Amino acid sequence: MKRRRLAGVVVLVALVAAAIFAYRLAGDGTPVPARVTQSAPAEASANVLRFPAGSPQLAYIRAEAAEAKPEPLVEALPGRIAYDENRTARVTAPVAGRVTTVVVQLGESVSKGQTLALIDSPDFTQALADSERAQLDLRQKRHVFDREKLLFEGEVAPRKEYESAQTDLEEAEVEVSRTRKRLEELGQGSPGGQGQFVLRAPVAGVITERSMTPGTQVGPGADPPLFVISDPTQLRVIVDVPEQQIAALRVGQDIAVEVDAYPHSAFTAKVVSVGDVLDPVTRRVQVRCSIHNPERQLKPEMYARVTPIATGQPPRVRVPNAAVVVVGVKNFVFVETGPGTFERRLVVPSSQGREFTFLKEGLQAGERVVVSGALLLNSELQGN
């Protein structure tokens, strides 16, 4: 009895399974698969790929216009922007004292000789007193000399007194000259600021640094300087060049300068000096370059990437290394010729660095080249 019941259950289960299978059959008897997401297929012909709009592959592809750039002689070298020392003055106080007034502000343009600050200085007060005393003594000695000369010429005074007065006058003139030169060394052609020391600008330029406020105690040789005055439209680029690459640089050589602040811009500088001494520790030679900065975009102490440029040669098309696909011994790039359409094109590299490849032929400036996803396109082309 139990065996009959078990057989009936098995038959019932088999009938239910058969019913479900029959329900899932399509009209033509083909099982209906679960829904899956398929990528839009690419159409390939020769070296051209075409993707319909909305293809998921397009989300991984990025194209940019190729640019023509001067080809570098060597890889980019680390450098920094610095002041042009020929156009820069670091101003310190030649006398000890206390600042009473600061006349100029940071970033202000000043002319040569313009007042920067006023300083109370005992040393300067003493120099002024010595100058005034010497002038008073000179006037007295000149008066005595004129009198003795008159008496000597009238044969009333002896020659000895006349010569003595002449010697005293010459000594007084020497003392006046000494005290005047002392004031000139201090930058004071004449007293000013009601007896205070007047700190003046030695050159024309812009106040790029200021390290003083009213009440600051100053003195000769103070560090840092009280003011730095420079011409920010003309700067220097300092590069420490490895000895293996020093032959690529010479005086008058053009170099390309790039900074992080302007990632899509390159500035042109010119080598003005190549060091004659190799640093025994770093094995590098210091090279100084002059760079024109009319818009004052570059700032001293910026880090820079410096690339020597091959002069006398036309610019070459530059693409990122990721844009170049190597197949065997040949190099290709993918050019976007239309929306969703990409052409694989044979190119001839000229040189390759850490980031970019310069091309001799195969690509024109302005053409849109795939800079991200070139390997994906190459796989699609080979798969089709």
CATH number given to 48-72+315-383: 2.40.420.20
Closest by Cα among 257, 266, 250, 253 to 236:
257
Give, for 273, the enclosing helix (H) or strand (E): strand 267-274
Question: Which residues have C-beta within 8 Å of that of residue 353, sequence separation ≥ 6?
Answer: 72, 75, 76, 321
CA angle 102, 108, 110 (to 5 degrees): 85
Closest by Cα among 136, 149, 122 to 175:
136
What per-residue confidence (pLDDT) applies to 228?
A: 94
CATH number given to 90-229: 2.40.50.100
How is domain 77-86+231-308 classified at the CATH fold level?
Elongation Factor Tu (Ef-tu); domain 3 (2.40.30)
DSSP 80-110: EEEE-GGGEEEE--SS-EEEEEE---TT-EE
What per-residue confidence (pLDDT) applies to 382?
A: 78
DSSP 310-334: -TTS--EEEEEGGG-EEETTEEEEE
What per-residue confidence (pLDDT) applies to 1?
A: 45
Domain boundaries, the chain: 48-72+315-383, 77-86+231-308, 90-229
Reading the chain (384 residues) residue by residue, the pLDDT tens digits are 444 454 454 445 454 454 444 444 333 443 443 333 445 445 656 788 888 888 888 888 999 999 888 777 777 889 999 999 999 999 988 888 999 999 999 999 999 989 999 999 888 888 888 888 999 999 999 998 888 888 888 878 788 888 898 899 999 999 999 888 888 777 665 545 457 888 999 999 999 999 989 998 998 877 889 999 999 999 999 999 988 888 888 898 888 899 999 987 889 999 999 999 998 998 999 999 999 999 999 999 999 999 888 776 778 899 999 999 998 889 999 999 999 899 999 999 988 877 888 898 899 999 999 999 999 888 888 766
Q: Are 141 and 170 in contact (CB under 8 A)?
A: no
